[in-house]
A = this chain, B = another copy of it.
Amino acid sequence: MKIAEVSEKYGLSVDTLRYYERVGLIPPVHRNEGGIRDYNELDLRRVDFIKCMRSAGLPVEVLIEYMGLVQQGDSTIEARKEILVEQRDLVAARLEEMQKTLNLLNHKIEVYEKAILKKEKEMLQIEELMEEG
């Protein structure tokens, strides 16, 4: 799969895909004879994983470290687990924060909706008064 298609598929720009590879967030992608990127299954899974983690706010730096450890093999399993646990806790905390914010937003929207309805009712009454007058 060539880079433009990957970009399309995952909603990441071509530049972002190349950037991820440059900084080591994703190991070098498979290339065809002409030296052009040709993402294989593994490459795609990595892109998917990184996209998922980034969208939850995990810092690029942390993911670089993690992916580096993955490359080093089984001896780094404990270290990798530590990273994931730490990040999991951060994500869970953010999730809770966001849930609170979401509730507040919904509440505020409700209040605004009521205020708008009230305003509309008043408008109607004014119209009625004008018809009477």
Q: How many copies does the complex hold?
A: 2
Q: How many residues of A contact B (CB 8 A)?
A: 34
Rank and list the top 7 A-B pairs by shortest CB-CB distance, nearest first.
A56-B101, A81-B112, A88-B105, A56-B98, A55-B97, A84-B109, A95-B98
A34 to chain B, nearest CB (A): 35
Q: How far is the CA of A109 from the CA of B83 in the complex (A)?
A: 10
Pick from A17-25, A113-121, A124-132 the stretch touching chain B: A113-121
Please list the residues of chain A having a beta carbon within 8 angstroms of any beta carbon in chain B: 52-53, 55-57, 74, 77-78, 80-81, 84-85, 87-88, 91-92, 94-95, 97-102, 104-106, 108-109, 112-113, 115-116, 119
